[in-house]
Amino acid sequence: MENENNANEENKELQVVEEVGLQNNEGIKIANEVIAVIAGKAATEVSGVYSMAGGLGISEVFGKKNMSKGIKVEAGQKETRIDVHIIVDYGVRIPDIAFEIQNRVKKAVETMTGLKVVEVNVHVQGVNVIEEKTEYID
């Protein structure tokens, strides 16, 4: 019985320390790669984004999708800056896509990490041009 009381008291102390740490973001360090994955997922969900820009990574060679591709993150203890490099579909309005990416990335990263996003810079690296199929009549 005495062991149970001691264990309960230790759990309560641990829980209080964790709650205080989460409120102040003290002692919590989120890796840049984690922030990059969150930002990459949010950016690829925007209609008109063909793909993320960047070279072919080793994980993609083996068939695994790299969600942090095309994302550069500079994170401090309380705030972060994010650069998003994309390729857009031909015919889309680029300022609208960039604005939507900025909003979605900022919301996703701030919601999931508690960090303040001070910048989301969108770099359009290319345009995907879809070739139309033409039928030849003999």
CB 52 within 8 A of CB 71: yes
Q: Domain check: are 37 and 82 in the same one?
A: yes
Q: Domain check: are 85 and 115 in the same one?
A: yes
Q: Is the pLDDT of residue 117 over 60?
A: yes
Q: Is the pLDDT of residue 78 over 70?
A: yes
Range of the domain at 93: 31-128
Q: Domain check: are 86 and 121 in the same one?
A: yes
How does residue 22 score in pLDDT terms, banded at 50, 70 and 90? very low
Interatomic CA distance for residues 137 and 117, integer angstroms = 56
Is the dihedral angle over the CA atoms 93, 95, 101, 103 positive or is it negative? negative
Is residue 135, in this structure, part of any structural domain at all? no
Q: Comparing 89 with 15, which gets the higher pLDDT?
A: 89
Q: Is the pLDDT of residue 37 over 70?
A: yes
Structural domain tally of the chain? 2
What does the pLDDT read at residue 130? 77
HSE-up (13 A, CA, CB side) for residue 84: 33
